[in-house]
Amino acid sequence: MANKEYKTIKEVAGPLMLVEEVENVCFDEIGEILLQNGEKRLCKVLEIDGTNALVQLFEAGFGINPKQSRVKFLGHSMRLNVSEEIIGRTFNGLGRPIDGIPEISAKTSLEIDATTINPIARTYPQEFIQTGISAIDGLNTLVKGQKLPIFSASGLPHKELAAQIARQATVLNKEENFAIVFAAIGITFEEADFFINDFKKTGAIERTVMFINLANDPAIERIATPKMALTAAEYLAFDLDMNVLVILTDITNYADALREVSAAKREIPSRRGYPGYMYTDFASIYERAGRIKDKKGSITMIPILTMPEDDKTHPIPDLTGYITEGQIILNRELYKKNITPPIDVLSSLSRLKDKGIGEKRTREDHSNLLNQLFSSYAIGKNAKELMGILGEDSISELDFKYVQFAEKFEERYLNQGFNENRTIEETLNIGWELLKMLPKSELKRIDYKFIEKYYN
Amino acid sequence: MSYENVEKGLIVKVAGPLVVAKNMKNTHLYDMVKVGKLGLIGEIIEIHGDKASIQVYENTSGVGPNEEVVCLNSPLSIELGPGLIGNIFDGIGRPLLKLKEKSGDRLQRGIDVNSLDHEKKYDFKPLVKVKDKLKKGAIVGFVDETKSICHKIMLPPNIEGEVLEIKEGSFSVEETIGVLKLEDGSTFNIKLMQKYPVRKQRPILKKLAPNVPLITGQRVIDSLFPIAKGGVAAVPGPFGSGKTIVQHQVAKWADADVIVYIGCGERGNEMTDVLNEFPSIKDPKTNNTLMDKTVLIANTSDMPVAAREASIYTGITIAEYYKDMGFDVALIADSTSRWAEALREMSGRLQEMPGEDGYPAYLGSRLAEFYERAGRVITLNNEETSLTIIGAVSPPGGDISEPVSQATLRIVKVFWGLDSTLAYKRHFPAINWLKSYSLYWGNLKEWFEENISENWGNLRQEIIDILQEEANLEEIVKLVGLSALTEIDKLKLEVAKCIREDFLHQNAFHDVDTFSSLKKQFYMLSIIDSFYKKAKEAVLNFKIKVKDISNITVKEEIGRFKYVENTKVEKTYEEILKKIDSEIKNLYKGV
Residue A1: the pLDDT is 45
Rounded Cα distance, A80 and A93, in Å: 11
**DSSP letter (8 states) at residue B360:** B
User: What residues are paired with B181 via a beta bridge?
Assistant: B162, B187
Report helix, strand or coil for A171. strand
Interface predicted TM-score (ipTM)? 0.89
Q: Is B236 helix (H, G, I), strand (E, B) or coil?
A: strand
In 3D space, the residue among A9, A22, A15, A17 whose CA is nearest the CA of residue A54 turns out to be: A17
Cβ density class B508-543: b for 16+ within 10 Å, e for less:
bebeebbbbebebbbbbbbbbbbbbebbbebbeeee
Give the one of A27, A280, A283 whose C-beta lies nearest to B63's C-beta.
Answer: A27
Structural Rg of chain B based on CA atoms: 28
Domain boundaries, chain A: 5-73, 79-355, 366-455
Q: Would you call A312 an interface residue with chain B, using a CB distance cutoff of 8 Å? A: yes
Residues from chain A contacting residue B14 (CB–CB below 8 Å): 26-27, 47-48
* 8-state DSSP, B107: P
**Residue A235 pLDDT > 60:** yes
Give the best residue of A4, A16, A27 to mutate against chain B (max B CB count within 10 A): A27
Q: Which of A270, A313, A367 sits opposite B509 (nearest CB)?
A: A367
Contact list in A for residue B272 (CB cut-off 8 A) is: 119-120, 122-124
CATH topology of domain A79-355: Rossmann fold (3.40.50)
Return the SS3 of B110.
coil
Q: Under an 8 A CB cutoff, do A268 and B354 touch?
A: yes
C-alpha to C-alpha distance for A426 and A36, rounded to whole angstroms:
64
B315 backbone dihedrals φ, ψ, rounded to 5°: -60, -45
Q: Are the Cβ atoms of A28 and B61 closer than 8 angstroms?
A: yes
Taking CB atoms and an 8 Å limit, are B300 and A119 in contact across chains? yes
d(CA A346, CA A337): 17
What CATH class has B114-196? mainly beta
Q: What is the pLDDT of residue A175?
A: 67
Cα–Cα dist A204/A91, whole Å: 17
Q: Say yes or no: domain A5-73 is CATH 2.40.30.20.
A: yes
**Confidence bin at A266 (pLDDT 50/70/90):** confident
Query: Which residue among A120, A268, A375 places its CB closest to the CB of B97?
Result: A120
Spatial distance between the Cα atoms of A266 and A280, rounded to a whole number of angstroms: 19
Q: Which chain B residue has its CA at the smallest distance from A51's CA?
A: B65
Instruction: Calculate how close chain A gets to B431, using CA atoms only, in Å.
Output: 16
| Beta carbons within 8 Å of A148's beta carbon, 6+ residues apart | A140, A142, A300, A301, A302, A324, A325, A326, A327, A328, A350
End-to-end CA distance of chain A: 79
Q: Which of B61, B96, B302 sits opposite A283 (nearest CB)?
A: B302
Interatomic CA distance for residues B456 and B441, integer angstroms: 12
The reply to whether B238 touches chain A by the CB within 8 Å rule is yes
Q: Among B104, B302, B501, whose Cβ lies nearest the Cβ of A284?
A: B302
What residues contact A53, with CB distance under 8 A and at least 6 apart? A18, A19, A20, A22, A25, A31, A45, A47, A73
Query: CA-nearest residue of chain A to B360?
Result: A268
Chain B nearest-CA distance from A451, in A, is: 14
Residues B381, B341 contacting (CB under 8 angstroms): no
Please give the C-alpha separations between residue A180 and each of A112, A167, A173, B224, in angstroms, as whole numbers. 18, 10, 20, 50
| Shortest Cα distance, chain A CAs vs residue B67, angstroms | 9
**What is the reported pLDDT for A393?**
80
CATH topology for B206-437 is Rossmann fold (3.40.50)
Would you identify the CATH topology of the domain B8-76? Elongation Factor Tu (Ef-tu); domain 3 (2.40.30)
Cβ atoms of B250 and B217 within 8 Å: the answer is: no
Dmax over CA atoms of chain A, in Å, equals 86
What is the rounded distance in angstroms from the CA atom of residue B494 to the CA atom of residue B508? 25
Q: Quick check: A444 pLDDT over 90? A: no
From chain B, the residues in CB contact with A391 under 8 A are 481
H helical segments located in A248-344:
251-264, 278-286, 315-323, 332-336
Query: What does the pLDDT look like over B52-81, one tens digit per residue?
Result: 999 998 889 999 999 999 999 899 999 999
Contact between residue A246 and residue A227 where contact means Cβ atoms under 8 Å apart? no
Task: Report domain extents, chain B.
Answer: 8-76, 114-196, 206-437, 456-588
Instruction: Tell me which of A248-252, A405-409, B3-7 is least confident.
Output: B3-7
In this structure, is the dihedral angle defined by the CA atoms of residues B101, A226, A265 and B308, taken in order, positive or negative? positive
pLDDT at residue B2 in the model: 46
Q: How far apart are CA A221 and CA A229, in angstroms?
A: 13
- Reduced to 3 states, what is the DSSP secondary structure of residue A64? coil
Q: Which residue of B has its CA nearest to A112?
A: B61
From residue A245, give the alpha-carbon distance in Å to each of A180, A181, A276, A289. Answer: 5, 6, 29, 9
**Burial zone of A65 (CB within 10 Å; 0-12 exposed, 13-18 middle, 19+ buried):** exposed
| Chain B contacts in chain A segment 243-272 (CB below 8 A) | 267-271
Mean of pLDDT values over A249-255? 95
A·B CB contacts under 8 A: 206
pLDDT cut 70: percent of chain A above it = 99
Architecture in CATH for domain B456-588: Orthogonal Bundle (1.10)
Query: Mean pLDDT over all residues of chain A?
Result: 92
| CA separation, residue B524 to residues B369, B466, B554, B579 (Å) | 40, 15, 14, 15
B12 touches A at CB < 8 Å: yes
What CA–CA distance (Å, rounded) separates B276 from A292? 14
Which of A118, A311, A372 is the best substitution to test chain B (most B C-beta atoms within 10 A)?
A118
- Residues of chain B falling short of pLDDT 70: 1-7, 590-591
Nearest-CB residue to B478 (from A290, A314, A389)? A389
A114-136 average pLDDT score? 92
- Which of A16, A116, A295 has the highest number of chain B CBs within 10 A, making it the mutation to test binding with B? A116
Using CB atoms, which residue from A27, A145, A318 is nearest to B64?
A27
State the average pLDDT over residues A317-324.
93
Which residue on chain B is closest to A370 by alpha carbon?
Answer: B426
- Looking at chain A, the number of H-run helices and the number of E-run strands are 13, 21
